[in-house]
């Protein structure tokens, strides 16, 4: 048999089965409902406001904005920019000056919505995760 790993978004609430065993009532995106014992549920799922970095990356790939819990008060978040296969380079821009090309491909990258050194809201292209970011379990989706 092949081994699989899954990433799906569900809704759940604590619920006991007919025998009184603790677990969760689970509702899937298609509306299907089931019951899961506590241990397998806790192994498979984590709250959306306490995701690890891998799950945060999956959410970025699905088009969601994500942030670390500590960033939330500052209004900072990340977004995945899908890239542009044929970006037109305007005269006078650093890309046009450096390459001499009229167009180039801009590859997918992660940008951060943040505050600049003067206190204004700004997009920071090409955000790179620190080791603390990668190891954190406090990632969340920003609605």
> What's residue 73's pLDDT?
72
Give residue 100's region: left, alpha or beta (phi > 0; psi -120 to 50): left
**Residue 117 pLDDT class (50, 70, 90 cuts):** confident
Q: What span, in angstroms and rounded, lies between the C-alpha atoms of 57 and 80?
A: 9
Query: Quick one: pLDDT at residue 122?
Result: 94
Instruction: Tell me what the mean pLDDT of segment 39-60 comes to.
Output: 91
The average confidence (pLDDT) of the chain is 93
pTM of the model: 0.78
Same structural domain, 16 and 60: no
Asked whether the predicted pLDDT for residue 72 surpasses 70, the reply is: no
Q: Which domain holds residue 11?
A: 1-45
**Percentage of the chain lying above the pLDDT 70 cut:** 99
Residues 55 and 18 in one domain: no
Q: How many domains does the chain have?
A: 2
Please indicate, yes or no, whether residues 29 and 61 belong to a single structural domain of this protein: no
């Amino acid at each position: 048999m092949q081994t699989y790993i899954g990433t799906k978004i569900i809704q759940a609430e604590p619920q006991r089965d007919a025998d009184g065993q603790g677990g969760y009532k689970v509702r899937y995106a298609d509306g299907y409902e089931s019951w899961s014992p506590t241990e397998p549920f806790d192994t498979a799922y984590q709250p959306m406001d306490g995701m690890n970095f891998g799950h945060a990356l999956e959410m970025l790939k699905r088009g969601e904005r994500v942030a670390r819990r500590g960033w939330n008060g500052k209004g900072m978040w990340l977004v995945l920019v899908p890239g542009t296969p044929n970006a037109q380079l305007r005269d006078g821009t650093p890309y046009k000056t450096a390459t001499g090309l009229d167009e180039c491909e801009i590859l997918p990258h992660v940008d951060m919505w943040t505050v600049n050194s003067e206190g204004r809201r700004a997009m920071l292209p090409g955000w790179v995760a620190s080791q603390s970011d990668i190891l954190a379990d406090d990632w969340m989706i920003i609605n």
